[in-house]
């Protein structure tokens, strides 16, 4: 029988399966429903306020100057549009799985598999980045107390081999070796992953309490930094506001967006919420608003205290106080270092919490082996998936480089956001079609009748018929006017020697694709009157994908190809839907 790779799951079936507990090959079990709005908001803050504010904001400020606040605002707006789409889906499908489950409802199985496979990469790579960042802060903190871990046990092999810093050179020269191979790894990154995995394994209550405590402490420290730093702000440091132009600001896209992906993680805990349809949307908006205000204020204080040229450091919050050279500022710098250790640990906890629950959802659907959905009878957590997540994060964290994994995480997250926004557009069109057919919630697709999913939280409808085409025309006019050299320069694919070169074409391909997508979306918005908010979320995240770097896209596409090979070799045959047909 011919397989339908676009078969979709109804919300009714998803809810029935979750209620029945299709989670364990050895028996039925359910998860503890203990999370409320406050807990979920704290989880969102825990995931968002972490490595970004304590580490990557420094490099982003160095590239963009004080104008980096514009990028934070732009990214927060893009995430806000996406968060509205996530909120509608979370209210519609209150089960674990996040964008994977949402895509199964909106687009069908193969797209759900793609986004599920993408989310596995996003969380795993993101967790590795956070573990590495935690290790950097932890070793710096220990050094402040006179405790020194050998350099070859605190960094990855390739960083040490390049010997671009005194620490890296010392690690390379002093590392023990077997023949020509030197033993160099980031041991603290591995150990924190083990500890966090243990906390998550023993229960959601323990994870909740740990998260809440860490969030309260780190937000208190950030408030201290803002209040104390305000006394040392020199407005002259904010000029020029855009020293490297808009292009300099956009250079920090991956780093800044990495700071915002936390609200996606809390959607994976839907089955552990007391009232997910009400609480998840509230928590998403609460955490996003609070964190946007914090990021903008921190960026203004950092770039006001010192010149943006000095901020290309790994610990910018501690650095700006150390640069003041007085005992009170030094004390604050020490407190910031302690807070950074706690903050990055809380991010790792929330991200590690999310990935096993996505695996669990995919296993329920038959796309992964049943063991991935096994729920521990005592702790009520996805036991096997949690342990496997710890292994897949902890071991690579021993060896990988921070900058590479941050950029790759952003690509995966943006891709998920694009599909979630697109899913809401699709479902809205289905509801409109159902109304025209006068069949209440009934539509007809592929010769079958099915219910159109409804949600308790719905995005307000604003007709994009004229707005999106006008935005497209405006964008094209601005591009033609301000692009250096005009349109001829953009379509010039020759290198400095006047020869058409692939590396020149390669860097412009994402923007050409975005232009085509923008034009097609404007056309569809005009003829079908799409809802404005999900369309804006779709376009904003698609544009941010262009700014994520061609090499990251290439790595991401390789990952997706591997995933599709696994799907056609295993998932398509074992799918629960396929076995029902």
Query: Tens digits of per-residue pLDDT, 460-481?
Result: 889 999 999 999 999 988 887 7
Q: What is the pLDDT of residues 438-454, one digit of tens each?
A: 444 444 444 445 556 66
Q: What is the pLDDT of residues 505-547, one digit of tens each?
A: 777 788 888 999 999 999 999 999 999 999 999 998 888 888 7
Same domain (yes/no): 234, 304: yes
Q: Rounded to 5 degrees, what are φ and ψ at 199?
A: -60, -45
Contacts of 380 (CB under 8 A, 6+ apart): 29, 30, 31, 32, 203, 204
Q: Is the C-alpha dihedral spanning 111, 117, 118, 120 positive or negative?
A: positive
Same domain (yes/no): 379, 479: no
Same domain (yes/no): 332, 462: no
Contacts of 570 (CB under 8 A, 6+ apart): 367
Determine the average pLDDT of the residues in 174-178. 83
In a domain, 2, yes or no: no
Buried b or exposed e, range 300-337, using 16+ CB within 10 angstroms: bbbbbbbebebbebbbbbbbbbbebeeeebeebbbbbb
Q: What is the pLDDT of residues 106-159, one digit of tens each?
A: 888 888 898 888 888 777 877 887 888 788 778 878 877 788 888 888 887 777
Among 458, 468, 443, smallest CA distance to 527 is for 468
User: In this prediction, what percent of the chain has a pLDDT beyond 70?
Assistant: 83
Determine the average pLDDT of the residues in 234-240. 89
Q: What is the pLDDT of residues 339-351, one digit of tens each?
A: 778 878 888 887 7
pLDDT at 517: 93
Number of domains in the chain: 2
Determine the average pLDDT of the residues in 479-497. 71
Q: Rounded to 5 degrees, what are φ and ψ at 311?
A: -95, 10
Taking CA atoms, 340 is separated from 177, 253, 346, 439, in Å, by 33, 22, 10, 56
pLDDT at 463: 93
Say yes or no to pLDDT of 394 above 80.
yes
Q: Average model confidence (pLDDT) for the chain?
A: 80
Same domain (yes/no): 354, 208: yes
395: exposed, middle or buried (C-beta count within 10 Å: 0-12, 13-18, 19+)? middle
pLDDT at 192: 92
Cis-peptide into 240, omega within 30 deg: yes
Same domain (yes/no): 472, 358: no
Same domain (yes/no): 477, 362: no
Distance (Å, whole) CA 508 – CA 489: 11
pLDDT at 440: 46
Based on C-alpha coordinates, what's the Rg of the chain? 24
Q: What is the pLDDT of residues 51-67, one digit of tens each?
A: 666 667 777 888 888 88
Among 385, 373, 390, smallest CA distance to 30 is for 373
Q: Which of 372, 407, 442 is the last residue of a domain?
A: 407
Distance (Å, whole) CA 399 – CA 395: 8
Same domain (yes/no): 336, 482: no
In a domain, 434, yes or no: no
In a domain, 441, yes or no: no
pLDDT band at 485 (very low <50, low <70, confident <90, very high): low
CA angle 283, 545, 550 (to 5 degrees): 145
Same domain (yes/no): 78, 201: yes
pLDDT band at 18 (very low <50, low <70, confident <90, very high): low
Taking CA atoms, 242 is separated from 56, 345, 480, in Å, by 19, 33, 21
In a domain, 533, yes or no: yes
Contacts of 106 (CB under 8 A, 6+ apart): 8, 422, 423, 424, 426, 427
In a domain, 198, yes or no: yes
Q: Which residues pair with 36 in a beta bridge?
A: none
In a domain, 433, yes or no: no
User: In this prediction, what percent of the chain has a pLDDT beyond 90?
Assistant: 10
Among 4, 86, 56, smallest CA distance to 417 is for 86
**Distance of alpha carbon 12 from the chain centroid:** 29
In a domain, 332, yes or no: yes
pLDDT at 519: 95
Same domain (yes/no): 231, 352: yes
Same domain (yes/no): 398, 491: no
What CATH number corresponds to the domain at position 143? 1.20.1740.10
In a domain, 479, yes or no: yes
Q: Which residue has the tokens 């949690």?
A: 386
Same domain (yes/no): 378, 486: no
Same domain (yes/no): 31, 94: yes
Q: What is the pLDDT of residues 398-413, one digit of tens each?
A: 887 666 666 666 777 7
pTM: predicted TM-score of the whole model, two decimal places: 0.81
pLDDT at 518: 95
Q: Rounded to 5 degrees, what are φ and ψ at 451?
A: -80, 140
Domain range enclosing 504: 456-580
pLDDT at 530: 93
pLDDT at 407: 61
Q: Which residues pair with 450 in a beta bridge?
A: 443
Looking at residue 362, the DSSP 8-state letter turns out to be H
Q: What is the pLDDT of residues 22-41, one digit of tens each?
A: 433 333 446 678 888 888 88
Q: Which of 368, 384, 407 is the last residue of a domain?
A: 407
Distance (Å, whole) CA 387 – CA 572: 26
């Amino acid at each position: 029988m011919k397989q339908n790779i676009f078969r979709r799951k109804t919300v009714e079936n998803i809810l029935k399966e979750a209620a029945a507990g299709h989670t364990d090959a050895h028996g039925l079990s359910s998860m503890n429903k203990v999370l409320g709005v406050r807990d979920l908001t704290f989880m969102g803050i825990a995931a968002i306020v972490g490595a970004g504010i304590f580490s990557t904001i420094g490099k982003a400020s160095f590239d963009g100057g004080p104008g980096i606040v514009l990028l934070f605002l732009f990214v927060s707006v893009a995430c806000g549009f996406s968060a509205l789409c996530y909120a509608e889906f979370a209210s519609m499908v209150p089960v674990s799985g996040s964008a994977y489950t949402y895509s199964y409802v909106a687009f069908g199985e193969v797209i759900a598999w793609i986004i599920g496979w993408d989310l596995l990469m996003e969380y795993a790579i993101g967790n590795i980045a956070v573990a590495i960042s935690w290790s950097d802060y932890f070793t710096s903190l220990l050094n402040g107390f006179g405790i020194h871990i050998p350099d070859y046990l605190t960094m990855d092999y390739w960083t040490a081999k390049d010997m671009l810093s005194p620490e890296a050179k010392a690690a390379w020269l002093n590392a023990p070796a077997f023949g020509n191979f030197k033993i160099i790894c980031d041991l603290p990154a591995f150990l924190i992953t083990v500890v966090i995995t243990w906390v998550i394994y023993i229960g959601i209550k323990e994870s909740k309490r740990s998260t809440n405590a860490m969030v309260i402490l780190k937000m208190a420290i950030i408030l201290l930094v803002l209040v104390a730093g305000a006394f040392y702000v020199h407005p002259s440091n904010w000029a020029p506001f855009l020293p490297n132009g808009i292009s300099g600001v956009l250079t920090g896209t991956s780093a800044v967006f990495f700071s915002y992906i936390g609200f996606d993680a809390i959607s994976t805990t839907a089955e552990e919420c007391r009232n997910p349809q009400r609480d998840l949307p509230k928590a998403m908006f609460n955490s996003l608003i609070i964190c946007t205000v914090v990021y903008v204020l921190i960026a203004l204080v950092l770039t006001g205290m010192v010149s943006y040229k000095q901020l290309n450091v790994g610990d910018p919050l501690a650095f700006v106080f150390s640069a003041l050279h007085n005992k009170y500022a030094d004390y604050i710098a020490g407190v910031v270092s302690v807070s950074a250790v706690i903050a990055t640990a809380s991010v790792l906890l929330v991200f590690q919490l999310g990935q096993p629950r996505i695996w669990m959802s995919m296993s329920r659907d038959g796309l992964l082996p049943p063991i991935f959905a096994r729920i521990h009878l005592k702790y009520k957590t996805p036991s096997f998936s949690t342990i496997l997540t710890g292994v897949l994060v902890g071991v690579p964290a021993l060896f990988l480089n921070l900058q590479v994994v941050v950029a790759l995480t952003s690509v995966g997250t943006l891709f998920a956001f694009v599909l979630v926004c697109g899913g809401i557009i699709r479902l809205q069109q289905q509801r409109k079609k159902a109304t025209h057919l006068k069949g209440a919630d009934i539509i007809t697709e592929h010769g079958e009748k099915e219910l159109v999913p409804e949600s308790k939280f719905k995005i307000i409808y604003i007709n994009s018929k004229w707005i999106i085409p006008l935005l497209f025309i405006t964008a094209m006019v601005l591009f033609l006017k301000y692009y250096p050299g005009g349109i001829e320069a953009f379509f010039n694919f020759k290198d400095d020697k006047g020869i058409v070169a692939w590396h020149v074409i390669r860097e412009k391909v994402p923007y050409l694709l975005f232009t085509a997508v923008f034009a097609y979306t404007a056309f569809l918005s005009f003829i079908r009157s799409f809802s404005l908010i999900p369309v804006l979320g779709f376009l904003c995240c698609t544009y941010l994908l262009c700014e994520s770097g061609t090499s990251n896209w290439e790595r991401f596409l390789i990952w997706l190809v591997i995933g599709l090979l696994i799907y056609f070799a295993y998932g398509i045959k074992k799918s629960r839907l396929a076995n029902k047909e």
